[in-house]
């Protein structure tokens, strides 16, 4: 695989320090670069006006400032903004900005971030998963999705919702876009540490959540980390036979391995994790399956997010009727499971779960790779 050109956003805080000292500059120059990149949201080195021109010129020769080019953008009826980005090697990824709330001043500006170009898990209901795995994103490519939407919010402040400047910033990050985050662990975690760092993007770890299809080694590793990021596990079935079909990685890490690791994660971290359960008409939406799910998570400090299936090219996986979904939810509640329906955003622009990049591939005539392959965990 070709080596990607180095960007400032690919560098950890201490690596920016090394860059500055290698240029014979004092460490406060590194702090200036970080402030311009992550807080002032500079697009070019020329904007870093408190750096001498000579330093700016040298920086532009040695590294790029950012790693992505935004090539296509569309807005949905609910305000969701979806953007397609091109990498240096012409790989493409999509991510989305979603708006939630307004209740009690708790408006959220949530960015849904991709961690891989394509995906190697191959879930049959997921249009992105059927595109095949292309490569892991670098930490800079992960970060630059966040910074793009941070600039978007700054330049298009949502004054109709709130005039509070807090609501012109990214408030939450979910690593739930294209790819399996835990299959790109090192680059993901480097991005999280930079986004959390006080002199970088300084977003609280508890405002970040990653979603996994159930990579057991990655969950074990995550349980040892100090930053308290959230964890969501995509379950979608409470028995191995069905989950093998819906989430193929289950064949490698079945429920009898996955659930104990999730319980151990909760015990070690003291954090309540979430289980995602997409409801598919006639597949996993029966009352009996709700009881199985309740039994699977019994005695577990967790939360179940129910999600109505989004429309993709596969017509087998459709959402159930509202009556069926409410019955499923009520059965879980009857068994004392903490459960809510997660509000779907951006469905009209294919920005929902499992839809990313599908519209672009269809419009351009590009075919999915159809080579699902799991990256290293």
Query: In which band, very low, low, confident or very high, does the pLDDT at 78 lie, cut at 50, 70 and 90?
Result: confident
In angstroms, the Cα distances linking 2 to 5, 62, 87, 88, 135 are 9, 18, 12, 10, 11
Higher pLDDT, 164 or 283: 283
Residue 17 lies in a domain: yes
Q: Identify whether 94 is a catalytic site residue.
A: yes
Residue 228 tokens, joined: 């308290």
CA 82: distance to chain centroid?
A: 13
- Answer yes or no: do 335 and 275 share one domain: yes
Out of 19, 40, 62, pick the residue that ends a domain. Answer: 62
Residue 2 lies in a domain: no
CA–CA distance, 273 with 84 (Å, rounded to integer): 30
- Whether residue 368 is predicted with pLDDT greater than 50 in this model: the reply is no
Residue 375 lies in a domain: no
Q: What is the per-residue pLDDT for 370? A: 42
Phi, psi of 248, rounded to the nearest 5 degrees: -55, -25
Q: Does the reported pTM lie above 0.75?
A: yes
CA–CA distance, 130 with 127 (Å, rounded to integer): 5
Residue 90 lies in a domain: yes
- Answer yes or no: do 165 and 19 share one domain: no
- Answer yes or no: do 38 and 93 share one domain: no
- Answer yes or no: do 38 and 139 share one domain: no
Q: What share of the chain is helix, strand, coil (3-state, %, to 5)?
A: 40, 20, 45
Mean pLDDT value of segment 198-217: 97
CA–CA distance, 207 with 192 (Å, rounded to integer): 11
- Answer yes or no: do 57 and 193 share one domain: no
- Answer yes or no: do 51 and 75 share one domain: no
Label residues 193-220 b or e (16+ Cβ within 10 Å = b). bbbbeeebbebebebbbbbbbbbbebbe
* Domain that includes residue 48, residue range: 8-62
Residue 141 lies in a domain: yes
Out of 45, 62, 79, pick the residue that ends a domain. Answer: 62
- Answer yes or no: do 88 and 171 share one domain: yes
Residue 377 lies in a domain: no
For the chain, give the mean pLDDT. 89
Start-end of H helices in 42-138: 53-62
Residue 154 lies in a domain: yes
Q: Which residues contact 103 (CB under 8 A, 6 or more apart)?
A: none
Q: In sequence order, what are the beta bridge partners of 173?
A: 111, 208
Of the candidates 123, 126, 302, 353, the residue annotated as catalytic is 353
Residue 371 lies in a domain: no
Out of 62, 79, 104, pick the residue that ends a domain. Answer: 62
Of the candidates 25, 94, 276, 331, the residue annotated as catalytic is 94
Q: Identify whether 54 is a catalytic site residue.
A: no
CA 109: distance to chain centroid?
A: 14
Q: What is the per-residue pLDDT for 218? A: 98
Q: What is the per-residue pLDDT for 369? A: 45
Q: Which residue has the tokens 């954090």?
A: 271
Instruction: Quote the number of domains for the chain.
Output: 2
Q: What is the per-residue pLDDT for 130? A: 80
Higher pLDDT, 231 or 373: 231
Q: Which residues contact 33 (CB under 8 A, 6 or more apart)?
A: 8, 16, 19, 20, 48, 51, 59
Q: Which residue has the tokens 């300084």?
A: 202
- Whether residue 313 is predicted with pLDDT greater than 70 in this model: the reply is no
Q: Which residues contact 232 (CB under 8 A, 6 or more apart)?
A: 176, 209, 210, 211, 212, 273, 274, 275, 276, 305
- Residue 13 maps to which CATH number? 1.10.150.530
- Answer yes or no: do 23 and 106 share one domain: no
CA–CA distance, 35 with 262 (Å, rounded to integer): 37
Q: What is the per-residue pLDDT for 156? A: 84
Q: At what angle do helices 287-296 and 322-334 cross, to 10 degrees?
A: 40
Mean pLDDT value of segment 55-69: 96
CA–CA distance, 126 with 123 (Å, rounded to integer): 6
Q: What is the per-residue pLDDT for 235? A: 97
- Answer yes or no: do 138 and 30 share one domain: no
- Answer yes or no: do 273 and 209 share one domain: yes
- Residue 321 maps to which CATH number? 3.20.20.70
- Whether residue 95 is predicted with pLDDT greater than 50 in this model: the reply is yes
CA–CA distance, 178 with 95 (Å, rounded to integer): 8
Residue 75: other Cβ atoms inside 10 A:
15
- At CA 344, angle to CA 87 and CA 209, rounded to 5? 60
DSSP, collapsed to helix, strand or coil, labels residue 355 as coil
Q: What is the per-residue pLDDT for 365? A: 56
- Answer yes or no: do 47 and 157 share one domain: no
- Answer yes or no: do 137 and 15 share one domain: no
| Low-confidence winner among 114-128, 187-201, 241-255, 354-368 (lowest mean pLDDT) | 354-368
Residue 316: other Cβ atoms inside 10 A:
11
């Amino acid at each position: 695989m070709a080596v990607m050109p180095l960007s400032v956003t690919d560098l950890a805080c201490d690596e920016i320090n090394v860059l500055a000292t290698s240029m014979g500059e004092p460490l406060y120059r590194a702090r200036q670069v970080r402030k311009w990149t992550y807080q002032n949201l500079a697009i070019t080195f020329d904007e870093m006006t408190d750096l001498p021109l000579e330093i700016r010129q040298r920086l532009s020769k040695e590294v790029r400032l950012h790693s992505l080019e935004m090539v296509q953008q569309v807005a949905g009826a609910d305000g969701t903004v979806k953007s397609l980005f091109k990498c240096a090697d012409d790989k493409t990824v999509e991510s989305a900005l979603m708006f939630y709330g307004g209740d009690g001043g708790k408006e959220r500006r949530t960015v849904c971030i991709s961690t891989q170009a394509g995906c190697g898990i191959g879930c049959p209901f997921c249009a992105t998963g059927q595109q095949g795995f292309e490569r892991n994103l670098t930490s800079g490519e992960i970060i630059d999705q966040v910074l793009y939407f941070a600039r978007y919010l700054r330049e298009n402040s949502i004054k109709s919702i709130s005039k509070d400047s807090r609501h012109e910033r990214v408030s939450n990050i979910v690593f739930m876009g294209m790819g399996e985050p835990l299959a790109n662990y090192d680059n993901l975690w480097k991005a999280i540490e930079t986004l959390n760092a006080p002199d970088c993007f300084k977003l609280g770890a508890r405002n970040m959540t990653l979603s996994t299809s159930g990579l057991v080694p990655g969950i074990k590793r995550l349980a040892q980390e100090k930053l308290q990021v959230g964890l969501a596990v995509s379950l979608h079935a409470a028995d191995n036979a069905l989950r093998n079909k819906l989430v193929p990685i289950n064949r490698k890490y079945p429920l009898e391995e996955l659930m104990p690791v999730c319980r151990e994660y909760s015990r070690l971290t003291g954090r309540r994790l979430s289980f995602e359960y997409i409801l598919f008409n006639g597949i996993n939406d029966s009352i009996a399956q709700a009881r199985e799910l309740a039994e699977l998570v019994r005695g577990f400090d967790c939360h179940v997010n129910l999600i109505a299936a989004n429309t993709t090219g596969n017509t087998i996986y459709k959402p159930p009727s509202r009556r069926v979904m409410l019955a499923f939810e009520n059965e879980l509640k009857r068994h004392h499971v903490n459960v809510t329906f997660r509000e779907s955003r951006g469905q009209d622009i294919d920005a929902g779960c499992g839809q990313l990049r599908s519209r672009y591939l269809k419009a351009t005539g590009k075919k999915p790779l159809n080579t699902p392959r799991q990256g290293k965990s």
